[in-house]
Structure 1
Amino acid sequence: MNATSTLYVDLDGSLIATDLLHESLLKLLRASPLAVLNLPAWWMHGKAFLKRQVASRVDIDVTTLPYRPEVLQFVRDARAAGWRIVLTTASDFKFARRIAEHLKMFDAVLASDGERNLGGHRKLAAMQVDAAGGSFCYLGDRAVDLEVWRGADSAVVVSRSASLVRRAARETRIDAHIKPGSTSLARYLYAIRLHQWLKNVLVFLPLMPVLHELSWRIVSDAALAFIAFGFMASGIYIINDLLDLDSDRRHRRKRLRPFASGEIRASTGLAMSAALCGASLLLSLLLLPARFVEVLLAYLVLTTSYSFFLKRRAIVDVFSLAALYTVRVAAGAAATGLPLSFWILSFSLFVFLSLALAKRYVELNGSQAEVSQMEKDRNYHPVDLPLVLCAGVAAGQMAALVLSLYLQDQQMLERYSNPVYLWIMVPVFLFWIVRIWLKAVRGVLHDDPVVFAARDWVSRLAVAIAAMALWVAG
């Protein structure tokens, strides 16, 4: 490194653990879905033109991007040693300039300008012109950078790949190898929200009235529906996270999610989402009734609409969430061929409306920054807090009322030899829903009440008591 005078620093994947083109395309998709129809025409004018058109239509908060701390420290050390530092990227100049202004560690910026895409040999040529015959080092992270390293005096490789380091060493001298941390399997499982599969237990709810008449076919079909819904929900969760990257990075907890933190790239996330949704549809088409496939597609349409539009409309969003839970109940009935009980459907709608409102209450009762983000992303305001509280508690009480009426239904009474024991479930449910809201008001409820309930021993005890009541009533 001592023989060089200029350090050229790559941006995407090197300085930041993400790709700005992918992120800007996702922002365009979220802000104006119809605008993506212009992508083929923009592409025909060249990649630089495409990047400029996308960059002119979206903004990226450069202050929250997942910068690699090891690379930042390396660049600071080089600057302290008297090096000239140049940010060199194929991303559009608009974003590169803002990043340079934010970090205040670059002497110049070389980037795509709408006419010339600064990648590969064009990047090398621009660096050679900028260096004016002087020696230079290039910091990069991918195999595409080998062409640039071939013309550089030395290289800094930012990669976990030992193979890439060896290939770069055949092109030029290696000054440093910065090895980012690896992403564990647990983080990939967290990215697909495996813990959220608990919600899919709702597909078994239609089995409750016929617990004593269950067959292996009914149970296996419900289990397959559980898995199919899990795959589909995970695929949509990934899309939702990718569309919310900016807002997640401003949140004290959500900024640590795999996509927001840059542990998993957006392109990888899109591939994961396509694979999960495809697996869900394939499983459903091959092994489950056509009626279930119809319900699954309805869920896909509703949850996609929620991700793009509905979640940004106050009150509409919580009814959409309640509907997404209730659709799982309908899916269980469709998969098993059991009748869809009006009582179970009504109970599900009210209880999940209450839980969705609890989620919003917690978010509205957060820090000032989180409340401001809620105003921007969800169209809720601080003055809405009492309304959300009252509506949520009322919906919970309505669920309890529907449950008590359901337990008096004649068909329900005929299915059990001792139906009086079923009434134990009513006070147990009332206690549980009121306790959820007590936790919310006290500020100790997780922002997802369903996940909180899964980890809460009192909630588990309530489920156990309800199950015992069903067994004794049998």
Structure 2
Amino acid sequence: MTIDKPLVLDVDGTFLRTDMLYETFWAGLGTAPVQTILLSLRHLRNPAALKAELARIAPLRTDLLPVNPEVAELALQSRLAGREVVLASASDVTQVARLAADYGLSEHVFASDGVTNLKGDAKAQALVEAYGEGGFDYAGNSAVDMPIWERAENALVVGHVPSARALAANGRNVVELAGGWSARALFKAMRPHQWVKNVLLLLPMLASHRFDLAALVPILWGMVAFSLAASTIYICNDLLDLEADRLHPTKCRRPFASGAVPIAAGMAAIGVLGVAALLIAFSLSSGFLLVTLLYMLLSLAYSLKLKQMRWVDITVLAALYTIRVVAGASAAVVEVSIYMLIFIFPIFLMLGCVKRITELSRATGDERLPGRGYGRADLPDLRNVAGIGIAGALVIFLLYSVSIQGLALYPTTWLLWVAMIPMTVWMVRMVSLAWNGRQDYDPIVFALRDPLGLGLLMLILSLMFWAAGLWQQWFG
């Protein structure tokens, strides 16, 4: 490669580990969802116009977009050697020009302009007109770049592109650079560790003392459906939160925010996982299907808008946890007590506050959290609402212990009152850990991994089984 010829870099998937069209689409869904969907449908067959419109309604923080480290290093070394480094992309010119400025690359960029979609043959022709046949080196990452590689002096191939082998066979100088992604990273984006939260579907079975396979098997299938549904929403949420995640100290390492998995793969996964979840739900019962749909729609609304609204967000979080309990009852066809729903909702409300308190306790500044409605000034109010949740749960539990239904299931009432002691300790401890920044960002996941907390939960469950006479029934 000679320094008198420019080094031309494709942007999407080459210089960047992401695609700016998909980035603007999801940024648009996050800020103006209806307008974004209407524009996408209107310009579905006119990609140049679509890119220009999306760039207008959802301008990107191009300085935050993940770059391919090997390509970025090549660009830096080329610039230091006095070589012109030019970006040539099918993305909109406003975004490409801003990206070039962020990294000190040539002001002369090649990109789509709202009329011409600069891709494949169109890009090749534009580069030849500017630099002449073989007057540039070109780095790309897909088969659509073949017309450009064929007219460049040197072909730089990012990732695995099988069709590029023909270039070397024809005597073209080919340089291979690292790229691509792994299915393992996509699986990580599904957040399988979060599936543990679906043990909440077991609560109605435990509360009603149904310990038979007829109740357990459909609940296990229901847990699978909810796990797939949750992963669908997690991926959707990550794609909507790309900019906020990149500004976060730990979430910036998430697969989509870091560029480890392309957005297109995430969109395909959303379709596959969502359909699979609904098919399993449909096979269980129409009631369970409706609960699953409600969970997915409320989760989507939370991701799109509700999570940005103070106090509404933690209420919705509590509702989403409560829906899991309703789903368990629907799957096993067991009656769920209204006392249980009223009891668990304030607990989940407390856990929603714990989630926000943890985020604020770990924040480095006083400004509001990216994509959220809270700042450090809200910490006392969040702690107070968590306290109200704790008090509400204990009062409801006490009332349940002396209710007709409670006395029928748990005749030794005083043991339920004893269970309120570790119950109080567990809830207060969760809030205290969050206040001191010692919690996980997801309190449910933390609770199911915390040895001391699990010990308290097992003690509560044991006392309730004792109060119900189950230990005597099982072990004489």
Q: TM-score, normalised by structure 1?
A: 0.94
CA distance in 1, matches of 2:76, 2:334: 65
Tell me which residue corresponds to 1:266: 263
Contact 1:354–1:391 at 8 Å: present in 2 too?
Answer: yes
Contact 1:10–1:89 at 8 Å: present in 2 too?
Answer: yes
1:388 to 382, 392, 398: 382
Deviations 1:250-294 (A, max 9, x none): 0000000011001111111111111111001111112x1211111
Tell me which residue corresponds to 2:473: none
Deviations 1:160-194 (A, max 9, x none): x2635423424563342111375362x33321111
Aligned partner of residue 138 in structure 2, secondary structure = strand
Tell me which residue corresponds to 2:162: 163
AA aligned to 1:408 is V
Tell me which residue corresponds to 2:200: 202
CA distance in 1, matches of 2:107, 2:33: 37
Q: Does 1:438 align with 2:432?
A: yes
CA distance in 2, matches of 1:241, 1:131: 41
453-462 vs 88-97, which moves further: 453-462
Q: Does 1:81 align with 2:77?
A: no
1:348 to 344, 362, 380: 344
Contact 2:39–2:50 at 8 Å: present in 1 too?
Answer: no
What count of residue pairs does the alignment treat as equivalent?
Answer: 467
Q: Does 1:192 align with 2:187?
A: no
Check 1:3–1:378 CA distance in 2 against 1; reply closer, same or farther (3 A cut). Answer: closer
Check 1:219–1:268 CA distance in 2 against 1; reply closer, same or farther (3 A cut). Answer: same
Deviations 1:146-171 (A, max 9, x none): 12111111111110x26354234245
CA distance in 2, matches of 1:80, 1:151: 26
Instruction: Provide structure 1 residue ranges, at least 5 long, that are not aligned to the other structure.
Output: none
Contact 1:43–1:49 at 8 Å: present in 2 too?
Answer: no
Q: CA deviation at 1:38?
A: 2.6
Q: CA deviation at 1:368?
A: 4.2
Tell me which residue corresponds to 1:279: 276
CA distance in 2, matches of 1:448, 1:205: 20
Contact 1:191–1:238 at 8 Å: present in 2 too?
Answer: yes
Tell me which residue corresponds to 1:292: 288
1:49-128 matched pairs, under 5 angstroms: 49-106=49-106, 108-128=108-128
Q: CA deviation at 1:417?
A: 6.0
Aligned partner of residue 151 in structure 1, secondary structure = coil
Deviations 1:334-370 (A, max 9, x none): 111111211110121100100101111222333345x
1:331 to 327, 334, 341: 327
Check 1:444–1:172 CA distance in 2 against 1; reply closer, same or farther (3 A cut). Answer: farther
Tell me which residue corresponds to 1:378: 372
CA distance in 2, matches of 1:171, 1:378: 55
CA distance in 2, matches of 1:368, 1:380: 14
Tell me which residue corresponds to 2:39: 38
CA distance in 1, matches of 2:56, 2:198: 41
Tell me which residue corresponds to 1:359: 355
Q: TM-score, normalised by structure 2?
A: 0.93
Tell me which residue corresponds to 1:242: 239
Name the Cα RMSD after superposition.
1.9
AA aligned to 2:176 is H
1:255 to 252, 256, 264: 252
Contact 2:9–2:88 at 8 Å: present in 1 too?
Answer: yes
CA distance in 1, matches of 2:170, 2:123: 16
AA aligned to 2:335 is P
Aligned partner of residue 260 in structure 1, secondary structure = helix
CA distance in 1, matches of 2:32, 2:87: 30
AA aligned to 2:12 is D
Instruction: Provide structure 2 residue ranges, at least 5 long, that are not aligned to the other structure.
Output: 471-476
Aligned partner of residue 44 in structure 2, secondary structure = helix
Aligned partner of residue 110 in structure 2, secondary structure = strand
